[in-house]
Amino acid sequence: MLACLAEEIPAFRDGVIAGSSLKVLDREGGRVSGDYTLTRDDILSARKFPDGVVKNAWPIELWDRTKGTVYAYVPRGDYYEIPFRCLMVKGYGNLLTAGRCISVTRDALGSTRVMGTCMALGEQAGLAAAYRVLKGNYPEQLTASAIE
């Protein structure tokens, strides 16, 4: 993968892999309790939120010891949104999370933990943090132009 990136994207030409895990890690891990917890029903009903910051259509993908990988899909041609409240840690007004530790149920994590979604969540958390530094609070609508 690094060789492909180095060949196609100039910024990766001198890239190296500094290290990797010596063991297989759990797909889940710890998650925070946020101001909202995204659920399986939110995903499968393609729910939209007033504070939705990331759109996602990745299926819920869970491992079952007897059945193997089990999928549950968002309605065809639709998507759900991850609300900003899932990034906010309950009880802390100035602490955000992103990636696979946001406030979601185990089933919802089966959809939100994928790389593209995690990167988009990180971008939104960064935008919100920058806005908060500049304005003293989080924006009503989180967009790149909100911090300019």
Mean pLDDT of all residues in 53-69: 93
pTM of the model: 0.79
| H or E stretch at 83 | strand 80-83
Residue identified by tokens 């100035």 is: 94
Tokens of 138: 């989080």
Residue identified by tokens 């990136």 is: 5
pLDDT tens, residue by residue, 86-102: 999 999 988 999 998 99
Domain locations in the chain as residue ranges: 26-147
Q: What pLDDT sits at residue 143?
A: 54
Above 60 in pLDDT, residue 144?
no
Name the nearest CA neighbour of 139 among 60, 68, 74, 53: 53
CA distance 14 to 98: 28
